[in-house]
Amino acid sequence: MKLDVYNLANEKVDEIDVSESIFASEVKPHLLQEAVKMQLAKRRAGTHKTKTRHEVSGGGRKPYRQKGTGRARQGSTRAPHWVGGGHAHARRPRDYSLGMNKKAKRSAICSALSMLAAEGRLKVLDSFELPIVKTKQAVQALQTLQFSKALLVDGRNKTAEGSKQLQFDNNENLRLSVRNLGAFKYLRPEGVNVYDLLKFGALIVTREAIRGIEARLQ
């Protein structure tokens, strides 16, 4: 499968061969949903806690005598129906994370990438080099590329000789230039995920970074 390669002036300069199993695979909506649920669940801290009637201080003495007052009998001011009382079903710390096997995770990312490629919302750049950290320059470049919202994927290849796994450093000028833009987000190739691909709805990736994505998903 071939994808067009553009420069920052939005001019086609080349073509790149990419894996059909990654960028032209079957889109599986159920895996996209499962991946998003997993990511959002893992973000939950699960540190919530409320006290039961046995953990709230006070309430050791009966508030008033059992009979003769004309009111309902009460045994403690710490009961759940009293203001300041404990909770009947108190919340406890828990782990909300959900599991998803590696094959399903890979298939979900491939589905998201294939969907964006099929709908013309994936653009490959020859490079995305900014001379300085300048948000205005980044915005101008993104406007030229005709994107109002997108995920930006780039990095500096730092793979050691003989290593089988590609490793990347940040493109710092790009990362710092877009960090205050709510409609754009920068990631290295190893950080590409289903939630961000669907949230931003478009992907701008450099030629070098797309090789990193392929190496990760092969």
Q: What is the CATH number of the domain that holds 187?
A: 3.40.1370.10
Regions of the chain with pLDDT less than 70 = 160-164
Residues 55 and 159 occupy one common structural domain: no
Do 76 and 104 reside in the same domain of the chain? no
One domain, residues 56 and 153:
no
- Its sign, for the CA torsion 188, 190, 191, 193, is positive
Element (H, E) at 204: strand 203-206
Neighbours of 209 (CB within 10 A): 28
Number of Cβ within 10 Å of residue 69's Cβ equals 11
**pLDDT on residue 186:** 97
Instruction: Provide the pLDDT for residue 161.
Output: 66
pLDDT (0 to 100) of residue 152: 96
* Same domain assignment for residues 31 and 122: yes
pLDDT digits (tens, 9 = 90+) for 38-93: 999 999 999 999 999 999 998 888 999 999 999 999 999 999 999 999 999 999 99
Q: What per-residue confidence (pLDDT) applies to 162?
A: 61
Q: Whole-angstrom Cα distance, residue 204 to residue 152?
A: 5
Return the pLDDT at 11: 94
Please state, in angstroms and as integers, the Cα–Cα distance from residue 20 to each residue in 23, 144, 147, 155, 157, following that order: 5, 28, 25, 23, 23
Domain boundary residue among 57, 92, 127?
92
Residue holding tokens 């959002």? 40
Measured distance CA(108)–CA(9) in Å, rounded: 32
- Predicted TM-score (pTM) of the model is 0.84
Q: Are residues 135 and 199 in the same domain?
A: yes
Specify the pLDDT at position 163.
67
- Are 187 and 203 in contact by the 8 Å Cβ rule? The answer is no
How would DSSP label each residue in 2-51? EEEEE-TTS-EEEEEE--HHHHSSPP-HHHHHHHHHHHHHHH--------
Query: What is the C-alpha end-to-end distance of the chain, expressed in Å?
Result: 15
